[in-house]
Structure 1
């Protein structure tokens, strides 16, 4: 079990991907900044997807960055890597939504 969160462009191509184990708290943070808690099935995503505008993705990225300005980033190299992966995911999806009008994110 785990959380697979994928971003897709208008052509249906996967452009961004995140993977979390079922106990990883960073998955909950991603659901939260995307205002997508209804897609969080606890041990995995619900299997549903939603479209996000550029403004929604920009807001999510800003909230995520603000979260880490308020909270101390752990010293673990893995956690630092994971934080960067999430920022990259949100940025890639934001750019796709800016270019194409929206981006589809699947939560499984």
Structure 2
């Protein structure tokens, strides 16, 4: 997935445990960040994900990430990872997805 640096980005993701969707409770804290491919530094974020975002359905582990452009206004164009973490009553699970940060050229 490509993310243009400095652009507002909206990403829909269905999180799974094994091959199954699950219910994310309303009390859960869901965060996301873009990290370098070596998992040693955060490039953008973290942001807190809202269950109220249009299109999300936490009962089916579907989340909508809205990453503001100011968060991705980095000068790096590189392969990276999208890290998503759900903390539900102290049970913490983390997922990673490959992303590429690309600099847009249109001013």
TM-score, L = length of structure 2: 0.35
Which has more strand, going by share of residues? 2
TM-score, L = length of structure 1: 0.34
Find the structure with the greater CA-based Rg. Answer: 2
